[in-house]
Amino acid sequence: MRKSRSFLVFMALMSWSLNPFNVPVAGSPEKPPIKQGIEAVIEGQSLPDTSPKFGFPENKFGINLMIHEYPSNTVPEHLENAHDLVGDGWVKAFSPSLDDPYKFSLFVREAEKRGMAALLRIGGWDRPEPSDYERIALAYVDFIRKINLLAGEKIRFIEVRNEPNLESEWGGRPSGAEYGKFLVSVARAFKMFDPDVKVLNAGLAVTDGTPDGRNIRTENFIRDMFAAAPELVTYLDTWSSHPYPQDFRGCNPYAKSASKFCFGAYDHELSVISEYYERAGLSPPRIIITETSWNPGIGSVSRGEFYTPHEFGEAVRNYWLRDDRVIGFLPFAFTRYPSGEWTAYEFADPGRGFKTNEYYSVLKMLRLEQGAILAGHR
């Protein structure tokens, strides 16, 4: 009897769930190559229809959430309070493991309910072996597939890992060439799964590196990425950046600073990236600031080196809001961890009913004035 397409899709997905990496089972015939297996699942996958609102939001404002450290039942509350701050802009969460698709399906669903663009950062801090790149890429795809099916919505923006030019973020041995090849493997798998998904590079740490090579200068890391994986230009039309204002004395929030350790650090990254896009006949990527802050770095507040709410507001206005290349900026972070870690970066205190501070007030005011500011700029 002829099987229906839905039945075949169901059986393919069941097979994928039971043996997602196509590992041979004892006593069974040899399995087909892994790429064939994944293509069979991806081609038959049924997902919600694409909606026009899943393009880049017109609202540039966004925020990082710490929901990975909080219980699942608090996700709606975090999203509701974040929405009050940034409106129908961006919201980002982080999944260090692939163990809790339910929590992140709530994140996607609650963001969609409020018209927000959900961005998920995936991956931990280990250094994957090159022989594992495809396996990890497929595991990432399966995780997002589960989130989508549970949420009944598509997640459109995925950031792959975090600051891999630091030893602490790449298993002690950072390598631009390795990360570039890894990112291509992941991006290729996601594009097979959903051609509309936006895969973002990990925002890089802005650094001059260390002599021992355990932390790599930002510009050098980018060159190594694109030299080893030039096809990145076909996958990345948006570049993720982390412009923390580390040069507290030399970073001017009132006017563009030439210092790369400032709110406009992405200018230095673009100066390197652009040459690879130009060679391919492509326009340079747009910028999304997936992390930044009014706090220059760990320990800065205790030293009295931080930007006041007014100064941070001026940086938002003069660097990101008026820069047409920047499509979104997501400060780190909306709240602290339950343990109290990251308190010096927060905009609201969840332990006190999401009581807000002056940084929250300034950011919200600018968000409400965004239309007038941009109209005056143009």
Highest-scoring range by mean pLDDT, 19-33, 47-61, 330-344: 330-344
**Could you give the C-alpha distances from 224 to 42, 65, 178, in angstroms and in order?**
31, 31, 9
CA dist 263 and 205 (Å) reads 13
Mean pLDDT, rounded, for 165-182: 97
Phi and psi for 121 in degrees, rounded to 5? -90, 130
Q: Which residues lie below 8 Å from residue 31, measured CB to CB, with a gap of 6+?
A: 22, 23, 24, 37
pLDDT digits (tens, 9 = 90+) for 100-156: 999 999 999 999 999 999 999 999 999 999 999 999 999 999 999 999 999 999 999
Global confidence as pTM: 0.87
What Rg do the C-alpha atoms of the chain give, in angstroms?
Answer: 21
Work out the burial of residue 15: count CB atoms within 10 Å of its CB; fewer than 13 is exposed, 13-18 middle, 19 or more buried: middle
Q: Which helix H or strand E contains 355, and what residues bound it?
A: strand 355-356
Q: How far apart are CA 275 and CA 137, in angstroms?
A: 28
**Domains in the chain, ordered, with CATH?**
1-46 (no CATH), 57-377 (3.20.20.80)
Rounded percentage of the chain residues whose pLDDT exceeds 90: 79
pLDDT for residue 279 is more than 70: yes
Partners of 328 in the β-ladder: 288
DSSP, res 254: T
φ, ψ dihedrals at 158, nearest 5°: -130, 125
Q: How confident is the model at residue 36 (pLDDT cuts 50, 70, 90)?
A: very low
pLDDT at 2 over 50: no
Give the range among 16-30, 38-52, 100-114, 181-195 with minimum mean pLDDT: 16-30
CA 129 – CA 300 distance, rounded (Å): 36
Angle between the 133-151 and 101-113 helix axes, to the nearest 10 degrees? 50
CB 245 within 8 A of CB 307: yes
Residue 20 half-sphere exposure toward CB, CA atoms < 13 A: 14
Return d(Cα 45, Cα 10) in angstroms, integer: 9
> Region 213-230: what's the mean pLDDT?
97
Band (243; pLDDT cuts 50, 70, 90): very high
Query: pLDDT tens, 309-365?
Result: 999 999 999 999 999 999 999 999 999 999 999 999 999 999 999 999 999 999 999
The Cα–Cα gap between 341 and 110 comes to 25
For residue 135, what are the contacts with CB-CB under 8 A and spacing of at least 6?
21, 34
Distance CA 20, CA 191 (A): 18
Q: How many other C-beta atoms lie within 10 A of the C-beta of residue 179?
A: 27
When pLDDT is averaged across residues 262-291 and rounded to a whole number, the result is 97
Per-residue pLDDT at 373: 82
